[in-house]
């Protein structure tokens, strides 16, 4: 069930907050402008660096053999990334010979969600209705439920145990006859689930501590373990009786005895390998809780993964028996590792595509920041008019339109000026477009309103006088 909380903000407080927002609006406007300027310079420098790298790299034909002639050259080569380093997770007593080992932890918790609805009231007050809903979810951190708004859900969360996520990487990763540097090692993404070989006594310790935590919160629960099955007893046949039986009958008896012995061995192995009640292993996941398929609040699951040797392609500068980033003339640096086999041209094209994607992402973010800053600066006008919500809504819409147009125009001007330093033709084109938008808004918009008003006047029908009927003198 949802929990609702309603608060009212007075007119004076709203006006005061709107004036305070002017300073935040200026900061957001300046930050958006700075982001747009930085982004254009970054994109142009990155593209020039990639063009330079695309014309400078050489193919490393055989990475398995060192070539002194390639020292200091930007190369592109493909080989297996391998390691002999052994990594260990001491907390769980497991390890592997791997490039990296990662541990992720999730907790099953109640999570609070809030949804606001704002409504203006006559006189300038604002009524804020907040609806809180609660769902059980797997999250990366325990959720403190004591601060939940709904008292029915407060202190409903607990965890059976806590563990920190962990990542560790091998220090020595070979790329043929060369060694990868730390940045390139962290770019390898050939993940696999780890085979868990946790010691039985450690699992029993986990089970005992988890049970204690469970019972402190939920109370003592009935055990879910199945009763131990008794071994199947096959009656022994005396030798005197066996002598009277035929060979086929003896073969059937012997086969039944073999089946019975097999079943007894399976039950013995199952009994020796005790099924723990509060800790369960499934593939590369260690689950803390009673029933993994039906989680309860407080359950924890720990997932173990490793980065295994894989074929990779490296584009970097050879530095002795390792690699370093390529430094372009404009100071930008570049090195990369991609999974599988790729040519240098493919890597450069992918990098250019990523650069263009980031360019537009930052452009959109910057423009929205500029518009948001302008709305914060001039939002006090709408707030002052909130005494009559209908009028404030009309003015608010107009202020939003003006801020959006001016914000886009300003952003285009900033982008154009930034590009003037690098590509004058495109910069001039953007300046012309920004000027056109301002002209349309400032002059043509005014002329259009006058034109519409004139048309409205001409289309208004004139009121004709009603002709008087002549009086009939004969009826007078």
For the CA atoms of 232, 233, 234, 236, what is the dihedral angle to 10 degrees?
A: 160
The answer to pTM > 0.85 is: no
425 burial via Cβ count (<10 Å: 0-12, 13-18, 19+): exposed
Of 121-135, 234-248, 306-320, the range with the lowest mean pLDDT is 234-248
- Range from 182-186, 221-225, 281-285 that averages highest in pLDDT: 182-186
Q: Which residue has the tokens 């060979």?
A: 247
What average pLDDT does range 336-349 have in this prediction?
96
Question: Is residue 418 very low, low, confident or very high in pLDDT (cuts 50, 70, 90)?
Answer: confident
Tell me, what's the pLDDT at 272?
Answer: 39
Q: Which tens digit of pLDDT belongs to each residue from 326-340?
A: 999 999 999 999 999
Q: What region, left, alpha or beta, does residue 235 occupy, with left being phi > 0 and alpha being psi -120 to 50 degrees?
A: beta
Query: Do residues 170 and 85 make contact, with C-beta atoms less than 8 angstroms apart?
Result: yes
Q: Give pLDDT, residue 255.
A: 67
Q: In the prediction, which pLDDT does 463 show?
A: 46
Residue 139 scores a pLDDT above 90: yes
Which helix (H) or strand (E) element contains residue 129? Answer: strand 126-139
The whole-angstrom separation of Cα 381 and Cα 384 is 5
Within 10 A of 201 (CB to CB), how many other CB atoms are there? 9
Which tens digit of pLDDT belongs to each residue from 142-161?
999 999 999 999 999 999 99
For residue 87, what pLDDT is reported? 95
The pLDDT score that the predictor gives to residue 435 is 72
pLDDT class of 163 with cuts at 50, 70, 90: very high
Distance, in Å, from the CA atom of 461 to the CA atom of 24, rounded to the nearest integer, reads 52
Q: What's the pLDDT score for residue 227?
A: 45
Query: Please, which pLDDT band fits residue 421 given cuts at 50, 70 and 90?
Result: confident
Helix runs in 139-199, H state only: 182-185
Tell me the C-alpha distance between 27 and 44, whole Å: 26
Q: Give the mean model confidence (pLDDT) for residues 368-396.
A: 83
Mean predicted lDDT score pLDDT of the chain? 84
* Predicted pLDDT at 384: 80
Higher pLDDT pick, 448 / 172: 172
Tokens of residue 13, six digits:
């407080």
Range among 232-241, 332-341, 431-440 with highest mean pLDDT value: 332-341
Predicted local distance difference test score (pLDDT) of residue 457: 57
Let me know the angle formed at the C-alpha of 204 by 201 and 209, rounded to the nearest 5 degrees. Answer: 130
What value does the mean pLDDT take over residues 291-320? 96
| pLDDT at 254 (0 to 100) | 65
* More confident: 185 or 396: 185
- pLDDT band, very low/low/confident/very high, at 219 (cuts 50, 70, 90): confident
398-427: average pLDDT: 83
E strand or H helix at 211, and its extent?
A: helix 200-218
Percentage of the chain exceeding pLDDT 70: 78
């Amino acid at each position: 069930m949802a929990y609702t909380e309603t608060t009212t903000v007075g007119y004076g407080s709203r006006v005061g907050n709107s004036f305070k927002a002017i300073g935040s609006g200026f900061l957001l406007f300046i930050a958006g402008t700075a982001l747009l300027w930085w982004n254009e310079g970054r994109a142009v420098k990155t593209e020039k660096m990639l063009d330079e790298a695309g014309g400078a790299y050489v193919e490393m034909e055989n990475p398995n053999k060192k070539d002194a002639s390639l020292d200091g050259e930007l190369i592109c080569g493909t080989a297996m990334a391998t390691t002999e380093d052994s990594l260990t997770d001491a907390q769980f007593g497991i390890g592997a010979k791997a490039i990296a080992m990662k541990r992720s932890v999730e907790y099953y918790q109640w999570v609070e969600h809030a949804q606001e609805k704002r409504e203006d009231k006559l006189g300038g007050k604002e009524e804020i209705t907040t609806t809180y809903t609660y769902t059980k979810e797997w999250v990366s951190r325990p959720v403190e439920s004591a601060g939940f708004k709904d008292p029915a859900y407060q202190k409903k969360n607990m965890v059976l145990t806590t563990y920190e996520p962990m990542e560790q990487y091998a220090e020595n990763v070979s790329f043929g006859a060369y060694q990868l540097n730390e940045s390139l090692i962290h770019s390898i993404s050939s993940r696999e689930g780890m085979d868990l070989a946790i010691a039985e006594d450690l699992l029993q310790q986990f089970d005992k501590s988890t049970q204690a935590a469970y019972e402190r919160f939920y109370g003592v629960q009935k055990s879910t373990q199945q009763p131990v099955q008794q071994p199947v007893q096959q009656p022994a046949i005396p030798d005197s009786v066996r002598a009277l039986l035929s060979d086929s009958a003896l073969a059937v008896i012997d086969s039944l005895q073999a089946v019975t012995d097999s079943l007894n061995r399976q039950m013995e192995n199952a009994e020796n390998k005790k099924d723990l009640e509060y800790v369960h292993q499934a593939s590369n996941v260690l689950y803390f809780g009673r029933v993994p398929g039906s989680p309860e609040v407080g359950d924890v699951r720990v997932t173990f993964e490793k980065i295994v040797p894989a074929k990779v392609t490296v584009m970097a500068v050879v530095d002795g028996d390792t690699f370093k980033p390529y430094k372009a003339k404009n100071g930008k640096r570049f090195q990369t590792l991609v999974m599988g086999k790729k040519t240098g041209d493919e890597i450069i094209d992918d990098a250019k595509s990523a650069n263009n994607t980031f360019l537009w992402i930052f452009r959109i973010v910057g423009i929205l920041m500029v518009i948001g800053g302008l709305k914060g600066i001039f939002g006090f006008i709408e707030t002052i008019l909130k005494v009559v919500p209908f009028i404030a809504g009309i003015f608010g819409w107009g202020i939003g339109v003006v801020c959006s147009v001016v914000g886009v125009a300003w952003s285009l001007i900033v982008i154009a000026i930034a590009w003037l330093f690098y590509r004058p033709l495109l910069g001039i084109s953007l300046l012309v477009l920004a000027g056109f938008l301002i002209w349309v808004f400032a002059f043509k918009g005014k002329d259009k309103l006058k034109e519409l008003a004139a048309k409205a006047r001409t289309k208004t029908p004139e009121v004709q006088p009603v002709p008087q009927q002549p009086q009939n003198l004969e009826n007078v």
